[in-house]
Amino acid sequence: MSGTFTVINPATAQPIREIARAGADEVDAAIAAAVVAQRGWASSAPLTRADALRRFARVVEEHVEELAQLEVLNSGHPIGSARWEASHVAQVLNFYAGAPERLSGQQIPVAGGLDVTFHEPYGVVGIIVPWNFPMTIASWGFAPALAAGNAVVLKPAELTPLTAIRLGELALEAGLPEGLFSVVTGSGSVVGQRFVSHPDVRKVVFTGSTEVGVSVAAGCAQALKPVTLELGGKSANIVFEDADLERAASAAPGAVFDNAGQDCCARSRILVQRSVYDRFLELLEPAVRGFAVGDPTLEGTQMGPLISASHRSTVAGFVDGANVAFRGSAPDGDGFWFAPTVVLAERGDRIAREEVFGPVVAVLPFDDEADAVALANDTIYGLAGSIWTENLGRAVRVSRAVKSGVLSVNSHSSVRYWTPFGGMKASGLGRELGPDAAEHFTETKNVFFATDD
Ligand code: TXE
Q: What is the CATH number of the domain that holds 71?
A: 3.40.605.10
pLDDT band at 143 (very low <50, low <70, confident <90, very high): very high
Q: How many domains does the chain have?
A: 2
pLDDT band at 100 (very low <50, low <70, confident <90, very high): very high
pLDDT band at 387 (very low <50, low <70, confident <90, very high): very high
Phi and psi at residue 92, to the nearest 5° = -65, -45
The DSSP H or E segment spanning 283 is helix 277-289
Q: Residues 28, 73: one domain?
A: yes
Within-domain flag for 422: no
Residue 453 pLDDT greater than 80, yes or no: no
Q: Residues 373, 437: one domain?
A: no
Domain residues for 134? 4-231+427-450
Q: Residues 167, 310: one domain?
A: no
Report if pTM > 0.95.
yes
Q: Residues 184, 109: one domain?
A: yes
Within-domain flag for 421: no
Residue 318 pLDDT greater than 80, yes or no: yes
Residue 2 pLDDT greater than 80, yes or no: no
What's the average model confidence in pLDDT over 171-198? 98
Q: Residues 41, 124: one domain?
A: yes
* CATH label of the domain that carries residue 300: 3.40.309.10
Pocket of ligand 1 (CB under 6 A): 128-132, 155, 157-158, 188-189, 192-193, 207-209, 212, 215-216, 232-233, 264, 311, 355, 357
Q: Residues 67, 184: one domain?
A: yes
| CA-based radius of gyration for the chain | 23
Q: Residues 227, 257: one domain?
A: no
103 SS3 class: coil
Please name the residue whose Cα sits nearest to atom 15 of ligand 1. Answer: 209
pLDDT band at 1 (very low <50, low <70, confident <90, very high): low
Residue 230 annotated as catalytic: yes
Within-domain flag for 252: yes
What percentage of residues in the chain have a pLDDT greater than 70? 100
Q: Residues 94, 123: one domain?
A: yes
**The pLDDT value given to residue 414:** 79
Cα distance between residue 219 and residue 212, in whole Å: 11
**The pLDDT value given to residue 452:** 87
Q: Look at residues 338, 295, 294, 330 and name the one whose alpha carbon lies nearest to residue 313.
A: 338
Instruction: Give the distance (Å) from ligand 1 centre to CA of residue 392.
Output: 38
Within-domain flag for 366: yes
Q: Residues 314, 204: one domain?
A: no
- Most distant CA pair in the chain, distance: 83
pLDDT band at 29 (very low <50, low <70, confident <90, very high): very high
Q: Residues 257, 301: one domain?
A: yes
Q: Residues 410, 438: one domain?
A: no
CA neighbours closer than 13 Å in the CB half-sphere of residue 423: 29
Q: Residues 155, 286: one domain?
A: no
**The pLDDT value given to residue 248:** 98
Which of 26, 85, 264, 355 is an active site residue?
264
